[in-house]
């Protein structure tokens, strides 16, 4: 495919990251199809028109269904609130368009399963927006684990915390409503941790979990009263992996002082690896080798030796950022479109993440261990 004609739905934080990724993809990677930014969709239409000019799109619309019907668009980026993902993705798939959808896939596991089945039946290429697993540092960690650098994996500990909902007097938004957001901290942040957990440790066999809503109500934006918070602010799960390892994961959107504290440790019989998303260009590696007096953690700082870091900058220590990871994600997506392969994570792989976060929610609600 020499040209890829793109339609983007949504102009918020994630919409802008997709626009930047599409615009910079070929400049950074040096290959792949020519990307044509055809249509930007949002409401109201005048907002879409203003941001289309800023983002570099040829035209704007307030009607996403018209975008899906446009034969001049090959691929659709979906960066809308969660409750719109399913309908938009199904419409794009039915029209034969490739789909890049932000996480989580949908409000419910059943909706995610429907999206995955439709994409598989139609044969389009799909991608779900888990850009953190495209970090060169994380890819290196997975290689170290697979090569046996820390021995047999025995334990995993991970957490992802932010404070964007820590203040109980922040106004109520769609993120607090099941019909708009689905799961809370699990669907917004916990799924990122799950994507990393499964890549490092393999599938989960069973789990037991609990959830908590810290602020039961929030003030309505118009000051007319308060509305209930219908989903979880925190969630914690104890995991048993299929390979025999154990572990724990936890997420909170009410953790004061935390901005993107997605951190984990993977423990093996010969050592361990630690990572913190707030320092996303670094890995900490400990290997039980050599004299005890000189053993200790060493910092691996990502550089050109950790592809595709070198496509961005030629020297270690100059750092990649959030938007750079989105470009790497876009590159994986376009390569799959070009050669007919499956990018990771497509709808099928991301369905495993959805299955796990909904199993955590089921365990917490029903007070029982859940087998997967």
Q: Which domains does the chain have, with CATH numbers?
A: 3-129 (3.40.50.720), 132-371 (3.30.360.10)
Average pLDDT of span 171-182: 96
**Torsions phi, psi of 71, nearest 5?**
-70, -10
Residue with tokens 């918020």: 12
Name the percent of the chain lying above pLDDT 70: 100
Task: Evaluate whether 32 touches 338 at the Cβ level (below 8 Å).
Answer: yes
Confidence of residue 2 (pLDDT cuts 50, 70, 90): confident
Confidence of residue 271 (pLDDT cuts 50, 70, 90): very high
Select from 150, 189, 92, 154 the least CA-distant residue to 298: 150
SS3 124: coil
DSSP 134: G
pLDDT tens figures, 217-226:
999 999 999 9
Contacts of 290 (CB under 8 A, 6+ apart): none
**Torsions phi, psi of 155, nearest 5?**
-155, 145
Residue 352 pLDDT: 98
pLDDT tens figures, 62-117:
999 999 999 999 999 999 999 999 999 999 999 999 999 999 999 999 999 999 99
1 pLDDT higher than 80: no
Residue 156 pLDDT: 98
User: What mean pLDDT is reported for the chain?
Assistant: 97
Residue 32 pLDDT: 84
**316 is written with which tokens?**
């270690």
Whole-prediction pTM: 0.96
Average pLDDT of span 346-366: 98
Residue 280 pLDDT: 96
Average pLDDT of span 152-174: 97
Name the percent of the chain lying above pLDDT 90: 98
Residue 173 pLDDT: 96
Confidence of residue 31 (pLDDT cuts 50, 70, 90): confident
Give the β-pairing of 3-9 and 34-41. Answer: parallel
Q: How far is CA 367 from CA 107, 209, 236, in A?
A: 22, 8, 13
List the single range of 28-32, 211-215, 227-231, 350-354 with lowest mean pLDDT.
Answer: 28-32
């Amino acid at each position: 495919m020499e040209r890829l004609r793109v339609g983007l739905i949504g102009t918020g934080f994630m919409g802008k990251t997709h626009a930047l990724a599409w615009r910079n993809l070929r400049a950074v990677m040096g290959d792949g199809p020519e990307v044509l930014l055809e249509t930007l969709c949002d409401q109201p239409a005048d907002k879409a028109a203003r941001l289309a000019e800023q983002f570099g799109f040829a035209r704007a619309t307030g009607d996403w269904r018209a975008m899906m019907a446009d034969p001049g668009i090959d691929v659709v980026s979906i960066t809308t609130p969660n409750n719109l993902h399913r309908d938009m993705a199904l419409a794009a798939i039915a029209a034969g368009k490739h789909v890049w959808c932000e996480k989580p896939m949908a409000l419910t596991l059943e909706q995610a399963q429907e999206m995955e089945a439709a994409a598989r039946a139609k044969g389009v290429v799909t991608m779900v927006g888990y850009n953190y697993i495209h970090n060169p540092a994380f890819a290196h960690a997975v290689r170290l684990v697979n090569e046996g650098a820390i021995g047999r994996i025995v334990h995993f500990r991970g957490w992802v915390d932010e404070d964007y909902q820590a203040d109980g007097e922040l106004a109520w938004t769609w993120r607090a409503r099941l019909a708009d957001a689905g799961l809370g901290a699990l669907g917004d942040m916990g799924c990122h941790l799950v994507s990393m957990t499964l890549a490092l440790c393999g599938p989960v066999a069973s789990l037991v979990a609990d959830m908590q809503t810290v602020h039961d109500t929030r003030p309505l934006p118009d000051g007319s009263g308060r509305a209930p918070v219908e989903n979880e602010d925190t969630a914690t799960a104890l995991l048993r992996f299929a390979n025999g390892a154990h572990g724990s994961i936890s997420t909170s959107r009410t953790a004061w002082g935390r901005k993107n504290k997605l951190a984990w440790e993977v423990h093996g019989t010969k050592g361990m690896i630690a990572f913190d998303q707030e320092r996303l260009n670094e890995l900490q590696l400990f290997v039980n080798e050599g004299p005890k007096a000189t053993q200790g953690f060493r910092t691996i700082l990502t550089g050109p030796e950790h592809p595709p870091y070198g496509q961005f900058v030629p020297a270690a220590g100059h750092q990649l950022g959030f938007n750079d990871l989105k470009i790497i994600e876009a590159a994986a997506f376009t390569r799959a479109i070009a050669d007919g392969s499956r990018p990771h994570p497509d709808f099928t792989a991301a369905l495993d993440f959805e299955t796990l976060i909904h199993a955590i929610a089921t365990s917490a609600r029903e007070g029982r261990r859940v087998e997967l």
